[in-house]
Structure 1
Amino acid sequence: MPTDSQLPFPAELTEAIIDFVDDEQTLRATSLVCKAWVARSRYNLFRVVELCLPAHLDRFNGLLASSPHIAPHIKEIAVSENSLLALLRPAMAIVARLPNSLLKHPQVKPHRLAVHNQSWLPTRYHPEYLTGLSQLSTISSLDLFDVTFTTVADFSIILRALRRLRSLSATHLDAQRQLPSEELVAIGAELPLLTSLRVISQYPTSVIDWLLQYNTFPVLQDAEVSYEISGIDPNQGLGPFWHATGSTLENLSLTISKRASGASFPIQVIEKLFDMSRCTALRALRVDFRQERELAPDWAWLVWLLSHLPKHGALRSLAFAFQHSSHALATLHQFAAEVDRVLADAPSFSLLNQVVFEFDYRNPAEVDQDEDALLAKFPALSERGILHVELSA
């Protein structure tokens, strides 16, 4: 076995190479090469612990008991059980037993908890469950995907237990039963440290509506919102979210879809859901249209939103994301003149220094006539020299 001094590459390079390894068997092999490779190999082996079956949690507990030295490497716990056991015997589900398991090994200090494809029913677990969950004080990031609660009250008490969250991702959440509006108000929570929020919801959006409408995020800075609007439901919660976060929100990525294809949003819906006049701290706005499929899309909501941003706002960067130049030209042409006029004339954009079209892929500039035709539809922005085209990151 070579000694550390005999290794031919700098430590930074070998660690970068090990980071690219994505299978357990190879990482086990790299950990045996030399002492210098052990720490980085263990970091990649144990950084993410995936638990999909009840037996996985039992094996995880046994591993920690026999090898406590791996505990500092564990940064993320990912639970994706999706089994009947979680419904028939909820107290035996992985999410039900996880807090107690982690508290038995205090040297394990995960930063991120991911719960996917799961029924999460904290009110059906042990009476001390929430006390245990609240003691996992190192968890600062929560990632939820396809999670079902009995009611949003379950979601509320989870958020109250994890009050140290700095990042929350909530995608396709659902509740088995709906609560009356007066109860929804009463169970709202405050996440005093949350700076990053990502929500993706298709109609019915009731769980996400509760999150956006009845919870407070006093220091929220970055938000990614993908949201389907029914056009007729007055209780959707997007509008109140802008009012509550307007003084702190700095970066926003927004994707809006319509439940009824071809239907236009009534002006009453637009005024209620897209009033961002209180977003005085907004510096970067990105609007994603890559999922837009209509031949004649309705961009009236976007024109209204841009027209009603704070008159003395801080917006510096505006981006529109499309699949490619032909897609942008086909979907934008009816509203291009209005968008160009609003961005060039409204006082809200006095500090705007770039308007970017983001494409998933680009043809060579010399042969892409659609890209030239698209840019030609924005003469005022082109004259200011702030119009650009980029590949999506």
Structure 2
Amino acid sequence: MTLPPEVAELVIDRCRDRPTLASCSLVCKAWRTRARFRLFAAAPVIAFDVPGVPRVRELLATLKHPLCTLHPFIQSLSIRQSSLSASWLNPVIPTLVGLSNLTSLEIFAEHSLLSAESQALFQTHFRSLRHLSLCLTFTTFPHAVTLVCSFPLLESLHLHAQWIGASPASPSSLPPNLHTLDVGGFLEDVLVWLLSCPPSPAVSSVQLRDVAHHEFGIVFRYLRFVEATLKSFHFSFLDKRSEKTFLDSNFDVIHAPGLRALGVEGRLSDDVTLMVHLLAHFDVSQLEEVSFTCLIAVNHRRPAWAQLDAQLSSPANICLRKVAIITLPHLESGIKAALPCLDERRILDFVFPKGLSKH
């Protein structure tokens, strides 16, 4: 009995078992292309250059092989490397440019310095990228800007990079479909540049990591710059000094009518005071989700907990659906007692660190 091609294609598309897909790719030519596409559409590579885990080298050797046919099937690639060598990444790029259908790329190689030749290859051959995550070193900030703005289809950018030169970048237009920004590293340089660019109506999700004490002025300016389109905002502090600066600041209210998610991550193991201060400076009416961390007993900040309960249970936050709290299992009952109104609405969501559970 011959299996109809339509049925075979449907079965292959629904299959999630990699060994089965590998077997299907060897059955016949009719099955090979579809099975290989499902098998190699995502090729995550965790590449710490230590004995026993030479994953990046294995991938490069495979892609260089004259009989390799994987290139058009790889759509997503993640390369993470802990090498301290500044030149480690540059020999890798020429091999990767053959991945013509790549739409998602993550490169974590913070000590690697991207050369001019590698950047030119990057910009020329990865034009179909929609999601880009980079943690590496550039010669100057304008080099980083040129690279980011060379991908016309880019939708999300995670940039945790650094650069050697101190020259500012010229104003330029962001990719028109860019809706998600996740920025860390030399944050002030990036925000100054973003403020010099024409407003982008697509930017709706912003995450700023490791904000330093001297960067809050530019952070608040950028929030007002995107407040009309902002739907999600999360940020974290670099150190305790930056937290104190934030709590002592009295910035103008941010009017973000479309904001749906708000999150904060501090360094004091108790973000409730930070969240209270943040909520007091945001004018929102559609907020659906709030997230923060609490790793100490609530009795250390009981007035702040009462204020947070009042803020989030007010009629202005009628759309609130979830309050996510990263905490420890033994603190859950105390937090529920400190947030009685929110607990009664059953919208508290406790997230425990990996390896810990309530029982």
TM-score (norm 2): 0.73
Aligned residue type for 1:265: T
The alignment's C-alpha RMSD in Å is: 4.3
Distance 1:235 1:38 in 2: 54
Distance 1:11 1:67 in 2: 23
Q: Is the 8 A contact 1:15 1:37 kept in 2?
A: no
Q: Give unmatched runs, 5+ long, in structure 1.
A: 363-367
The total of aligned residue pairs comes to 340
1:83-162 equivalence runs, <5 A? 87=87, 93-95=91-93, 97=94, 101-102=97-98, 108-117=100-109, 119-121=112-114, 124-125=116-117, 129=120, 133-134=123-124, 136-145=126-135, 147-162=136-151
Choose the corresponding residue for 1:198, options 166, 172, 182.
182
Q: 1:26 to 1:315 in 2, by over 3 A?
A: same
Choose the corresponding residue for 2:153, options 164, 175, 178.
164
| CA deviation vs aligned residue, 1:252-300 (integer Å, no higher than 9, x gap) | 3x242341379722656x345xx56132211232x255x7554xx4754
Distance 1:36 1:329 in 2: 63
Aligned residue type for 1:141: H
Q: Which residue of 1 aligns with 2:203?
A: 220
Distance 1:386 1:220 in 2: 32
User: Offset of 1:83 from its aligned partner?
Assistant: 6.6
Q: Which residue of 1 aligns with 2:337?
A: 376
User: Offset of 1:79 from its aligned partner?
Assistant: 4.8
Choose the corresponding residue for 1:282, options 251, 256, 259.
259
| CA deviation vs aligned residue, 1:47-89 (integer Å, no higher than 9, x gap) | 24559768965752554xx565x4542212445577788639x
Q: Is the 8 A contact 2:240 2:268 kept in 1?
A: no
Q: Is the 8 A contact 1:251 1:282 kept in 2?
A: yes
Q: Give unmatched runs, 5+ long, in structure 2.
A: 48-54, 353-359
Distance 1:199 1:120 in 2: 19
- Matched residue SS, 1:178: coil
User: Offset of 1:98 from its aligned partner?
Assistant: 5.7
Distance 1:220 1:262 in 2: 26
| CA deviation vs aligned residue, 1:316-347 (integer Å, no higher than 9, x gap) | 31323447xx75736753411222233345x7
Q: Is the 8 A contact 2:271 2:292 kept in 1?
A: no
User: Offset of 1:219 from its aligned partner?
Assistant: 0.7
Q: Which residue of 2 aligns with 1:304?
A: 277
Distance 1:221 1:340 in 2: 27
Aligned residue type for 2:87: L
- Matched residue SS, 2:347: strand
Q: 1:224 to 1:35 in 2, by over 3 A?
A: farther
Q: 1:361 to 1:143 in 2, by over 3 A?
A: same
Distance 1:4 1:81 in 2: 44
- Matched residue SS, 1:265: helix
User: Offset of 1:302 from its aligned partner?
Assistant: 2.6
TM-score (norm 1): 0.67
Q: Which residue of 2 aligns with 1:365?
A: none
- Matched residue SS, 1:170: strand
Distance 1:84 1:264 in 2: 34
User: What percentage of residue pairs aligned between the two structures are identical?
Assistant: 18
User: Offset of 1:158 from its aligned partner?
Assistant: 0.2
User: Offset of 1:148 from its aligned partner?
Assistant: 0.8
User: Offset of 1:13 from its aligned partner?
Assistant: 6.6
User: Offset of 1:358 from its aligned partner?
Assistant: 3.9
Q: Is the 8 A contact 1:209 1:238 kept in 2?
A: yes
User: Offset of 1:11 from its aligned partner?
Assistant: 7.1
Q: Is the 8 A contact 1:189 1:214 kept in 2?
A: no
| CA deviation vs aligned residue, 1:15-53 (integer Å, no higher than 9, x gap) | 55x5343xxx88644533577864454124432455976
Q: Which residue of 2 aligns with 1:390?
A: 349
